[in-house]
Chain A
Amino acid sequence: GIQVEQSPPDLILQEGANSTLRCNFSDSVNNLQWFHQNPWGQLINLFYIPSGTKQNGRLSATTVATERYSLLYISSSQTTDSGVYFCAETRGTYKYIFGTGTRLKVLA
């Protein structure tokens, strides 16, 4: 079955620092998405990125489908970036299969 692993599991940054989060898949990537879950539990869609690179402000993402991984870059981090970042894939009945998550804390 599909296994979605994310690294690192936990990350603490000083405000203004940059970071890279990784998502590895055991099967071929399909309909990959990145989400941010804020401390109140709300899941926010960041990127739909089955392949290639996208950028949105301080965030960007790259998926290399042939090598079964995706990266999320956060530049000039802010305290509001804190929370848990999930990657997720869909297949079959279009359910999301979520990764293990990266818990990010940005310190002021």
Chain B
Amino acid sequence: ETGVTQSPTHLIKTRGQQVTLRCSSQSGHNTVSWYQQALGQGPQFIFQYYREEENGRGNFPPRFSGLQFPNYSSELNVNALELDDSALYLCASSPDYFETQYFGPGTRLLVL
């Protein structure tokens, strides 16, 4: 139990739609990171938010965007969904941006 929760657990969308995934960090953690894990691969870094500002971004297009709120919750938004966006999306929170990250259980997204 890491204290990090994500919703929903599973989601099915169709190509071209938009999706919002949610994460609730551990209380007191001011940093949240999002990762995409395709089937059979390791997680890939999408971006990190530190004190509500983006603090680094991986090799993902601008249609992947995020928000972090003062109440330790955060969102990952994906516009114009593509079939290749089907994956497990993981959020991770940490007390500070340079400290160990603790992962939530993930949201499984299927794009048809």
| Partner-B contacts on A (CB < 8 A) | 33, 35, 40-45, 48, 86, 88, 92-101
Contacts and interface: CB of A to CB of B under 8 A. Distances in A.
B33 A95 contact: yes
Contacts of A86: 42-43
Interface of B: 2, 31, 33, 35, 37, 41-45, 48, 55-58, 88, 90, 92, 97-98, 100-103, 105-106, 108
Contacts of A92: 56
Contacts of A101: 41-42
A86 to B, nearest CB: 6
A95 B103 contact: no
Contacts of A98: 42-44
A48 B100 contact: yes
- Nearest 4 pairs between A and B by C-beta? A93-B56, A98-B42, A95-B45, A43-B103
B98 A94 contact: yes
A33 to B, nearest CB: 7
Contacts of A96: 33, 35, 43, 45, 92, 101
